[in-house]
Structures are given as C-alpha cells and as structure tokens.
Chain A
Amino acid sequence: MSEEVDGASSTEGVEQYAIGISFGNSNSSIAHLSADGKAEVIANEEGDRLIPSFLSYVDGEEFHGTQAKAQLVRNSRNTIGYFRDYLGKDFKSIDPTPCHGSAHPQENASTVAFSIQDTESETPNTVSVSEITTRHLRRLKQSASDFSGKAVTSAVIAIPTDASEAQTEALADAAENAQLNVLQFISEPIAALMAYDSRGDHKDKLVVVADLGGNRSDIAVVASRGGMYSILAAAHDYELGGVKLDQVLVDHFAKEFIKKHKIDPRDNERSLAKLKLEAEAVKKALSLSASATLSVESLAEGFDFRSTVNRTRYELLAGKVFQSFTRLIEEAVKKADLDLLDIEEVILSGGTAHTPKIAQNLKSLFSEHTTVFAPSTSPTAINPAFLAATGAAIQASLIQEFEKEDIEQSTHPMVTVTPHIPNAIGIEIEAQEGTSSFEVVIPQDSAVPVRKTKVMQSLSDGEMVLRVCEGQRKIKTTKPEPRSKAETNGEEDSDEDSDVEDEEDVRERIWEAIKPLGEITARVKKGLKVEVTVNVGADLSISITARELGAKTGVRGNIEKPEVTENGQA
C-alpha cells in the first residue's frame, strides 16, 4: 500500500523485518520479537549477545565484536573501538581518551576519522567514523539476518538522551549506508523502561533509570503516567563507567606484579592492553562470584602472572568509584526537584549494573519501598546489558507496519510537547476530627488529556461532600526522641546543629491539599464503595463523576478551563 518514492532503501514489496539495536561505545546488542511475541536478544555467530563495538583488520580481513576486541593486544593500531560518541561531532569537541589503547581518532574534513590498514596493501587508509559505524551496523544487521533467516530491513536504535540532532542524523546516514532503515530513535532510558513495562506493569510511578556503561554513565528521572513517559531530569558523566572499575583492578594487579618482578606492566603498551582485558574479565567474574583469578601469560618481559582477588577486597578498592555512581544518581533526583522518597523504582541498565555493590548502595540510598531492579537486588530483574536493545525491539515491532510519514508526524513536537499538570489532583478526606488527608487520583506530571478513576469507601451515612483539590507532596521530618542536650554547651550553638546530630530524622512523604477545585455531593450509606472519576481535558477543563460502584448513574460536575494567560503566566 505504500507508494513511497524511495529507491535507496528498496523496502517496497519486501516484508518488513525490524530489529532493535542498542549501539554503545563499548558494546552493542541486537534484539527482535520472536515468533511467540516476546522480545529476545539475538546472539551473533560467535554466540555473543553482548557484542563489543569493535572492528579490527588483519591482512585485509575484517574482524568484529569479541574477536576484534582481542586484537587490542597484538594489533591495536588497526583496531577501532569506542567510536559511537564521535559520530556527528567535530574533532575539537571529542574526548580521545578511551582510544589510547586502540586506533587514534584524527581530524578529517571537520569530522573524525581513523587511519587504519583495512586492505592488504601496506599503506593505511583514512576511514571516517561514519564509515566505521556503517561497517559495524552492517555486521550487526547480518548477524540478525543470519539468526532469523529473514533479511533485516529496518531498525529502531536506542540513543542517549543528550544525543544532538547532528549525531542522530549522522547515525541515520551511517545506517542508510548499511541498507538499514532507521524507523525511529528512542532514548536509552525509555527503552530500558519499556523492557520492564512490557511485562505488563503500567502503574503510575516515578522511576530513575541509571545506565551505567563502560566509558560514561547516564541517569534519567522519568515520570511514567498511564504508560506514557516524560523525562523530568537527566544527568550525565562522561568519565564515569566500568572502565574506571577496570582501572582499579589494573592498578591493584600492577602493584602486585611490581612487588614480585620490579617491572610495571603499565609502562608497556602491550602489557597494559593484556592487563586491561584480563582485569575486565576479573571484574565480570567478581559480579557473579566471591573471588576471581587473573592469569596472564607473559605479562611483561616474559614473566607470567597469576593472582586472585576476592570481592570484599575489590569493593574496598573501588569504594570511591561506587560512591560516584550513587552521587550521580542522587544529583539527578535533586535536579528533577524530587526527594529520594518520591522514587518508586530504580532501574539499573548497562553492563556495569551487574556489580552487586552498586545496587546495594542504591538500595540503602533510597527508601525501603523503592524497588532497585538489578540482578543482585531483585529476583525479577532483567539482564541490565540487554534492556536498551529489548526496548528498541519492542518499539520496532510496534511501528514496523507504519509508514514513514506516520512515524514522523507522531514524533513531531506538535504531538510530543504537551501540557503536564504540575500538581496532583485528588480528593480531600476528613480522616479524624479536624485533620484531613489527601488521596491522589491523578498524579502530578501527568500529560493531559488524562482520565483516572479511584474507588473509595465511605466511612459514614448520609449526604456527603467530596472535595476535589490540587495536592502537593510534602516531606515531613520528625525528630527522633530528643536526646538530652546537656552535653552541648550553650555557646556557638547556631547553624552547625545539623552536623552534631547523631540520630537521623524520620522523613516521610505526606500529601497536602493546596487548592480546592470543586465539591460534589452524594447520598451514601456507610461502607459503600464510591467510584470517583476525574477527567482532565486537553484544554485543562475538568469533569468529575461520582457514583456508587456498579451503579449506572451518578452525579457529575464540570470545572471550566482556566483563563487563558499569556505565556502560561499565572
């Protein structure tokens, strides 16, 4: 039915087969929807589901993934890795640090390129980062095609939340050159969230998605409302990641080696490359077991090296790095103007999320009601390395039948930029004499139009007034049993109070009604269930319906939309 004049992609008449791709600086994954409708990560021909984003050339032959990464030791100058973040950027703005151990990025006509021997000839070629990306995507596409026996035509690619337009365009072009039609780019944290939500949970919640990668970490605070996601805040650290943890182990083992042989393996490029690869393997082993062994043949000057490290020791050594993860996440929550108590779920994504200590630290950072989804803290956690690819595959399956124009129109800001209500809407209830509590019907940061229903139990007989209000969450701090202040002398007892406190305050979330919107009356009997529906229209008018549960009729009322104010000022 499509009449697209799009010769290059040649998708006409061919059955669409879309996959989800997570394309990272360190690793990539591919996923598709299996025959029974479940998103499933595809292994490449080497059996890897986590495919290192590496390409290496030996005598004109191209190696990819794990095989290419192994070439970092012997053939580092013709091995390319960590190139995702260079795409669509000019040379001056990139950080070449991750590439010290592999082919170095170079300036080439305002973009980034690598000089490598990718043919059998001795003279190196200058290959742009875009071409490298094309080759990488071509291999990923081929692996997916080989696995399923169907030709992959298109893909949804997960990208970081801070990817610029130039970067996504460059990625789309690189994919086009690999005969891969990018249906849509979705952001990595949303893909991770979708992977979890595809298990059938769409309740309203505030979620922190922490994507802990190899060379960078990205945090997003997301409001999930009725299955729709709005990012409230994002934080990035372009230096924090698994590589930092590898470095801790590299230093630890190097010191041991120096003690034995008086040689620093970090001084020799090849020794360092060997040590780095093995340290990464040790780190992965320590996420699963309590101790791990490192053994490198001929680490430096012909000496073999073998050593064991246990998890406790590692956690001690890497304590500072672990804390920076926690701090980054705390910072993101603060940036979203939220309290740690507001967060209902923490989703750890990315390879580094396997580390048990990071998840444990977060478990103690957040309240006990917060679920931390990581392999070590939740039995139902999904493998964090595959979340982005899984989410992308789900999205791909949802839109693969759509026409390009449809997708473009739907993702246009005209559609996606929508008013969100700043406060929660709910019902004020008199709990006891004089005090009232607030029951949330529609949570804050919901996009309009929205409709929600809540069932409440009436506590007494007679004619009732239901008061619909806007409500706000407050943090109530209760001081613990006051300890005798005898020991502190009265002098200089000013601002430093908080530092002296030994016992922590008890903090809790309470809801307060801040602005009444309307009242509705109904005659009810005690113990009866009353169903209240609040509907906020796209123009911010509200209609409220209250009825007895199961009854056909009820009482309803409408509140008009607010006066139009210029530029949204009150």
Chain B
Amino acid sequence: PPKPEGWKGDPGNPNFRALGTLSPPVMRKIEPAGPHFLAFARRKRHGRTFSEDERI
C-alpha cells in the first residue's frame, strides 16, 4: 500500500475517501442448486442480511 501526501478523508470519516461507485451489474441467473444457493434463497426470501442470517 502506498503512502499518502496531503491526503484527506471524506467529511465525517477521516480514514476513508469514496472515489466512485460500482459499474452497472449484469443480470444473470444463479443455478438453483447446492447448499449455498439454498442459504442464499432463504436470505433473499426473508430479506435477511448475512449477519442476521448467521444469528439464527
């Protein structure tokens, strides 16, 4: 990692600076098979995030 020089963070967060946003995504179909997909589908259907899901 390179060193900073006169580097300034975002307002409200001195350690971080946002530079851009993600490129537009591609819509693809996930194959509905395997244990990881089932976990994904469960999260999506119940609107849970990763950490919420882990707690259950």
Q: Which residues of A contact B (CB under 8 A)?
A: 184, 186-187, 190-191, 194, 197, 202, 222, 226-232, 391, 394-395, 398-399, 409-411, 413, 415-423, 425, 427, 429-430, 445, 447-449, 451, 458-460, 462-467, 470, 515-522, 524, 535-538, 540, 542, 544, 555-563, 565, 568-570
Taken residue by residue from 7 to 48, chain B's Cβ proximity to chain A (1 for < 8 Å, 0 otherwise) reads as: 101100101111111111111111111111110111011000
Contact across chains for A465 and B33 when beta carbons are under 8 A apart: no
User: Residue A557 contacts which of B10, B22, B32 (CB distance < 8 angstroms)?
Assistant: B10
Of the candidates B2, B13, B31, the one having the most CB atoms from chain A within 10 angstroms of its own CB is B31
Residues of B within 8 A of A458 (CB): 1
18 contacts between A and B (CB under 8 A): A186-B32, A187-B33, A391-B33, A395-B33, A417-B27, A418-B30, A420-B26, A422-B23, A430-B1, A460-B3, A470-B23, A521-B7, A524-B1, A538-B44, A540-B25, A557-B10, A557-B17, A558-B18
Q: Is the CB of A398 within 8 A of B3?
A: no
Q: Which residue on chain B has the smallest CB distance to residue A523?
A: B15
| Interchain nearest-CB distance for A159 vs B (Å) | 12
Smallest Cβ-Cβ distance to B51: which chain A residue? A451
Q: A228-B36, A429-B1 are in contact. Are A423 and B23 (CB under 8 A)?
A: yes
* Chain B nearest Cβ from A514, distance in angstroms: 9
**Which residues of B lie under 8 Å from residue A423 when comparing CB positions?**
23
Besides A190-B34, A464-B2, A521-B7, 7 more A-B contacts (Cβ < 8 Å) are A187-B33, A228-B36, A416-B30, A467-B1, A517-B21, A517-B22, A560-B21
The closest CB in chain B to the CB of A450 belongs to B50
In the complex, are the beta carbons of A194 and B34 less than 8 A apart? yes
- A519 near B44: Cβ-Cβ < 8 Å: no
What residue of chain B has the Cβ atom nearest to residue A519's Cβ?
B17
What residue in chain B is nearest A402 (Cβ atoms)? B38
Tell me which of B3, B22, B28 contacts A447 (CB under 8 A): B28
Q: Which of B32, B35, B50 contacts A411 (CB 8 A)?
A: B32
**In contact, A559 and B18 (Cβ under 8 angstroms):** yes
Please, how many angstroms separate the alpha-carbon atoms of A383 and B16 in the complex?
A: 52
**Chain B contacts for A229, CB-based, 8 A:** 30-31, 33-34, 37
Q: Give chain B nearest CB distance to A469 CB in angstroms.
A: 9
Q: Are B3 and A228 in contact (CB under 8 A)?
A: no
Residues of A within 8 A of B20 (CB): 515-518, 559
CB distance from B15 to the nearest CB of A (A): 4
> Taking the nearest CB of chain B, how far is it from the CB of A189, in angstroms?
9
Q: Are A417 and B9 in contact (CB under 8 A)?
A: no
Whole-angstrom distance between the alpha carbons of A419 and B41 in the complex?
Answer: 14
Q: Which residues of B have CB within 8 Å of A542?
A: 22
Please measure, in the bound complex, the distance between the C-alpha atom of A515 and the C-alpha atom of B22, giving whole angstroms: 9
Binding site for A on B (CB under 8 A): 1-4, 7, 9-10, 13, 15-38, 40-42, 44-45, 49-50
Using known A-B contacts A227-B35, A517-B19, A520-B15, determine if residue A413 contacts B29 with beta carbons closer than 8 Å. yes
Q: Is the CB of B4 within 8 A of A518?
A: no
Question: Contacts A464-B2, A557-B15 known; A197 to B34 CB distance under 8 Å?
Answer: yes
Are A464 and B22 neighbours in the complex by a CB distance under 8 Å?
A: no
Contact B15–A409 (Cβ < 8 Å) = no
- The chain A residue sitting closest to B47, CB to CB, is A538
Q: Are B31 and A562 in contact (CB under 8 A)?
A: no
Give the docked Cα–Cα distance between A191 and B34 (Å).
9
Q: Are A422 and B17 also in contact (CB < 8 A) when A190-B33, A429-B1, A465-B2 are?
A: no
Min CB distance B36 to A, Å, is: 3
Q: Of A186, A420, A537, which is within 8 A of B31 by CB?
A: A186
In angstroms, Cα B21 to Cα A145, docked, is 56
Q: A520–B2 Cα gap in the complex (Å)?
A: 11
On whether the beta carbons of B21 and A562 are closer than 8 Å, the reply is yes
Chain A residues whose C-beta falls within 8 Å of the C-beta of B2 in the assembled complex: 430, 464-465, 467
Does A228 contact B37, Cβ atoms closer than 8 Å? Answer: yes
Let me know if B29 and A570 touch, CB within 8 A.
no
Looking at the assembled complex, report how far the CB atom of B16 sits from the nearest CB atom of chain A, in whole angstroms.
3
Complex CA gap A421/B27 in Å reads: 9
Report how far A394 CA is from B36 CA in the complex, Å. Answer: 13
Q: Which of chain A's residues has its CB closest to B19's CB?
A: A516
The closest CB in chain A to the CB of B3 belongs to A462
Whether A230 and B23, one on each chain, are in contact in the complex, defined by CB atoms closer than 8 angstroms, is: no
Q: How far is the CB of A428 from chain B (nearest CB, A)?
A: 9
Cβ–Cβ contact B50 & A422, under 8 A: no
Contacts of A562 in B (CB 8 A): 21-24
CB-CB under 8 A from B41, the residues of chain A are 409-411, 415
Residues of B within 8 A of A459 (CB): 1
* A226 contacts across to B, CB distance below 8 A: 36
Contact across chains for B32 and A416 when beta carbons are under 8 A apart: yes
Q: Which residues of B contact A232 (CB under 8 A)?
A: 28
CB contact under 8 A between A410 and B19, given known A464-B3, A521-B4: no
Given A227-B36, A415-B45, A464-B3: A559 and B13 interface contact (C-beta under 8 Å): no
Cα–Cα distance between A197 and B31 once the two chains are bound (Å): 14
> Looking across the interface, which residue of chain B has its beta carbon closest to that of A427?
B1
Q: Out of A191, A410, A448, A451, which one reaches B32, CB within 8 Å?
A: A410
Closest to A464 in B: B1
Complex Cα distance, B10 from A481, in Å, reads 50
Bound CA span A419–B45, Å: 16
User: Are B38 and A410 in contact, CB atoms less than 8 angstroms apart?
Assistant: yes
Question: Which residue on chain B has the smallest CB distance to residue A524?
Answer: B1
A569: B residues at CB distance < 8 A: 24
B16 and A557 form a contact (CB under 8 A): yes
The answer to whether B25 and A231 touch across the interface, beta carbons within 8 angstroms, is no
Roughly how many angstroms separate A194 CA and B33 CA in the complex, as a whole number? 8
CB distance A230 to B29 under 8 Å? yes
Contact of A231 among B9, B29, B35 (CB under 8 A): B29
